[in-house]
Structures are given as structure tokens and as C-alpha cells.
Amino acid sequence: MSEIEDKVCKKMQERAKIGLKKYGVTMERNDFGMREWLVHAQEEAMDLAIYLQRLIDDYSYPKRDICWWCGGKLIWQSDFDKEDLMDEEGIVTYLHCSSCNASVEYISQEEE
């Protein structure tokens, strides 16, 4: 198996330990019939859909204060008139990442 598959297997084993501790049974339990397993699986799938929607909502728009490289917080450094640098109108904004020190430059575009 790959390293990724190994990570997933380890996580599944940890989840099984948590489930056994929390519910006192394993997935080999016999107190659920087909319908109960289907309802339980549907409830888990609905939870997943909610988690996915949360992430979609959070990341639908570019986050200008989050480093694309490491996810750290971008800190404003300075703004300049674009005209001073490029003979065009607008603003150039410089930021740096508080975690990995990456530099980011935002250049405004002229609206037509």
C-alpha cells in the first residue's frame, strides 16, 4: 500500500477504537437490521453533505488574507499607486505570510 492508504487505515483503526469506547460495540454488532444500517448510513451521508457545504461556502471566494502556500495569515505591508510603478492607474498591495514568509502582490485591474 501507499503511504496515503496507510494513513487512511490507521485513521480507520483509531475510529474503531473511539467507536468501541463510545458505544461499547464494534461494526460486527448484530442489533441492527438492514433498515437500521441504511438509515444510519443515510444520516452519516447527510452529515457529510453538511460538512462539504460548509467548506464550499468558506472557500467559494478567494481568501485574500490566507496564504495559498501554507494557509497562514497574510499581513499587510504596504500599498503603492500603480501609476508610480507601471504608468497605469490602480493600487499595488504587498503582503507577507506570518507563517512561511511568502510574499504576495495584489495588483488592481482597471474596470472597463
Burial of 93 (0-12, 13-18, 19+ CB in 10 A): middle
For the chain, count helices (H), then strands (E): 3, 3
Q: What is the pLDDT along the chain (112 residues), one digit of tens a residue?
A: 899 999 999 999 999 999 999 999 999 999 999 999 999 999 999 999 999 998 887 776 566 788 888 989 999 999 988 777 677 788 889 999 999 999 998 888 765 5
Q: Which residues pair with 104 in a beta bridge?
A: 95
User: Residue 7, SS3?
Assistant: helix
What was the pLDDT predicted at 111?
55
What was the pLDDT predicted at 84?
72
Q: Where are the domains of the chain?
A: 3-59, 62-112
Give how far Cα 109 sits from Cα of 11, 66, 92, Å: 46, 21, 10
What is the residue whose three cell numbers read 500599498? 79
What was the pLDDT predicted at 62?
63
